[in-house]
Amino acid sequence: MKERQLKDLLYEQVARIGKALSSPKRLELLELLAQGEKTVETLTSESGGDVKLVSAHLRALREARLVEVRREGRFMVYRASGADVGALLATLRDVAESHLVELRLALEQLVDAEAQLTGISRETLLEQARRGDVLVLDVRPESEYRSAHLPFARSMPLDELEHQLDALPSDKPIVAYCRGPFCLMSEQAVGLLRARGFRAARIDDGVSEWLAHGLTVDSSTNPTH
């Protein structure tokens, strides 16, 4: 094979990933799968799509080797083919936010700036959580928490939060997170917590963003604090 043909082939293979990521709905499905395994039915419900269309998108992602699938009874269960897939998605979002003013403006409308935790690095937050100075709250579904979560985080799904407020400390700040910067569960959690007198804020990071910045995540189910 000539050098020019070989280079064309190399770029063509890399372009398969770019092509698979060129659909907004496929990006959303990858974000969901970066949280853990999900059935087609669950993905359809959480993405607000149609089963046939979601299945078609999943086939495209599978052809690009970005997702894998297994059968469990009558259900087809999908998962991201590696943690690097979620990290790639997080990096892609970072690049888009850096270069697209339209995205930045949309994010400003999506998230209440007052609810955002600012001025603290990921490493500082991790150390504060390790010491027990702050409670990091994972408000995603518990199955996603079991798959992977930020170190020292406690699982308290958004739909259970209001009924478990008595289990939360009133003497320390609470930092909530969910699936990443496009996820609203953490903002809803912060709104509820603040309305009940807790000191609470949210971070944009989810598991994928944490990994994309070279930090580790945990899969143990017992919170440290």
Name the residue among 174, 168, 204, 205 with its Cα closest to residue 191: 174
Determine the angle formed by the axes of helices 101-110 and 83-99, rounding to 10 degrees.
100
Those residues whose C-beta lies under 8 Å from the C-beta of residue 94, and which sit 6 or more positions away, are 212
d(CA 204, CA 182): 8
Pairing state between β 174-177 and 135-138 = parallel
178 is a catalytic site residue: yes
The one catalytic residue among 135, 161, 178, 183: 178
Phi, psi at residue 207, to the nearest 5°? -60, -45
The span from the CA of 210 to the CA of 35, in Å, is 12
Radius of gyration (C-alpha) of the chain in whole angstroms = 19
Is residue 204 a contact partner of residue 182, using CB atoms and an 8 Å limit?
A: no
Residues belonging to the active site: 178
